[in-house]
Structure 1
């Protein structure tokens, strides 16, 4: 399993680990309280564990074990949408200029 940061704008995702060890997490976005920053939540999940990625939040999963990983994932919507963050930002055609990317990140 390759690491990928993505978001499903219209669905919650549930991941159940059958085999392997994954590092998973998500980042909150646009908190309503101006004193609260976007917060990263992470966890190491093992066989038999599950993890819920809230609707619309940028999230990732990465195999950190020494074996292949096998998971079941389910979404709360038949049409969840998909935004693959790195592909969208760094793989556009024409590309976003380095000046803009530098200022944004």
Structure 2
């Protein structure tokens, strides 16, 4: 028998597939938000659910600490994201880049429970808890492996350091 390798993952023989290949438990459980940025992202992609391979979708739960919990500016190079707030109040937005006139434009909105916002593929975006209580949002992404590039870590955390000379 030959293994089939698709999208960087091995495809399981259909005769060997079980419910475990399509299951992830516990997204109802609040996550620890005591990180430096006051948020915690629980990704559910092909690494957690092998059955997502080739299906073009993934999911995430984002927990935010009260007043200031931040999912810092980042991008998903391979996916559009749609976010729904289920608890709390979030200030969200994205930055368009390199418009025809050379400008970059900030698009923002304050979201409450039940509100939905879309972040187009590849654009830098963020979420910030502006409420006095915890906030929780769920995101769906249009790739089984959307990737994430956190802007500040990429620019200021490079090894060796990024040094720009003028």
Q: Give the TM bin, normalised by the shorter chain.
A: 0.7 to 0.9
The residue aligned with 1:19 is: 87
| TM-score normalised by structure 1 residue count | 0.86
| TM-score normalised by structure 2 residue count | 0.56
Q: Deviation of residue 36 (structure 1)? A: 4.7
SS of the equivalent of 1:86 reads helix
> Which protein, 1 or 2, shows the higher relative CO under an 8 Å CA cutoff with sep ≥ 6?
1
**After TM superposition, what 4+ stretches of structure 1 lie above 6 angstroms from structure 2?**
none
Task: Please show how residues 1-105 of structure 1 align to structure 2 within 5 Å.
Answer: 1=64, 2-3=69-70, 4-31=72-99, 33=100, 35-97=101-163, 100=164
Q: Deviation of residue 58 (structure 1)? A: 0.2
Q: Unaligned 5+ residue runs, structure 2? A: 1-63
Q: Deviations over 1:57-95 (max 9, x none)?
A: 000000010000011111011121211100100111222
Question: What is the root-mean-square deviation of aligned Cα atoms in Å?
Answer: 1.5
Q: How many residues align?
A: 98
Q: Rg: which structure is higher?
A: 2
